[in-house]
Amino acid sequence: MRRHIPANGTSILFSMQPKPTLRKIALFGNCHQTKKNIFVSHVLKALSALQAEICIARPFACFIRENLPDTDLSSYTSFETCHPDSDLCISIGGDGTFLNTAAAVGNREIPILGINTGHLGFLADLSPEATGPAVEALLHGDYVIERRSVIAVQADGLPQGFCPFALNEVAVLKHDNSSLIDICTHIDGQLLTNYLADGLIVSTPTGSTGYALSVGGPVIVPQSPTFALAPVAPHSLTMRPVILGDNVEITLSVSSRSRSFLLAIDGRSTSLPTGTKIRLQRAAHSVHVVKIQHRHFFDTLREKMMWGLDGRN
């Protein structure tokens, strides 16, 4: 049995084959962690037990060739040419690598397993040492899939190929000077407020423990059907984070002395001219996160953020 957690937070149990067929697995990875190359070798070796076709994202394949010259990649295909029918994606790195993997997957809802070689690892929370047991769990269908909500972004002037979906957050930020920007914010056509600030972060529940948290936003349980709006260094101390239901449309319009601003979607940023209207809604698809050793979100908070620990000892 596998527990399926839909976006509304309700848990549903349903039957599945004891050994689900994983015909094609896509591999993504951090291309800057040269000191952790040994983990890549461990993962490739462990995946051989699945007897599946392995395809590798092109940048990561280049990284492996340069840093692991003894690794034979002749039997591996390219993700860019085979992604439509991948059954699973594996991300080796931190949460940033996981977000890049989610962007590459887009709206295809391919399940993603994150192996953490980074720091906190809220999304990529499987340790490299547990790769062997994780492969065994995949063989037997002993894992959990969590569906995480996504923000869909609409705006004129987005560069071609720029992924318009955010698993963590969408941030509107001042560009290249010290002046504040004015962010006129409407919810379903009704004026909420004008944020005079360095920026504004609109986060999903998944992203509530990321950038939004660093500017005083709330921690939100991942399956909550909500968005959070958190201003970045607001001019007025009365400006506080706001929680909204995720069934609304958020419209942002920015005024700036520099006549431009930054739009960042899960860390991928582009410059847009003032006057550009940005529309944010919950996307029709979700990101499917594979959890091998499923733990309650509260357990993860206590471990990753050290809640309740007395630092005086």
Where in the sequence numbering do the catalytic residues fall? 95
| 154, 265 Cβ separation under 8 angstroms | no
Q: How far apart are CA 164 and CA 154, in angstroms?
A: 7
Q: Which residues contact 252 (CB under 8 A, 6 or more apart)?
A: 172, 183, 184, 185, 200, 277, 278, 280
| 241, 256 Cβ separation under 8 angstroms | no
Beta strands 268-273 and 277-282, pairing class: unpaired
| 15, 155 Cβ separation under 8 angstroms | no
Tokens of 101: 């993997």
Q: Which residues contact 49 (CB under 8 A, 6 or more apart)?
A: 135, 136, 139
Tokens of 144: 């959990």
Which residue, among 148, 182, 116, has the nearest Cα to 287 in the 3D structure? 148
Q: Which residues contact 212 (CB under 8 A, 6 or more apart)?
A: 169, 201, 203, 228, 230, 241
Cα within 13 Å of Cα(194), Cβ side: 7
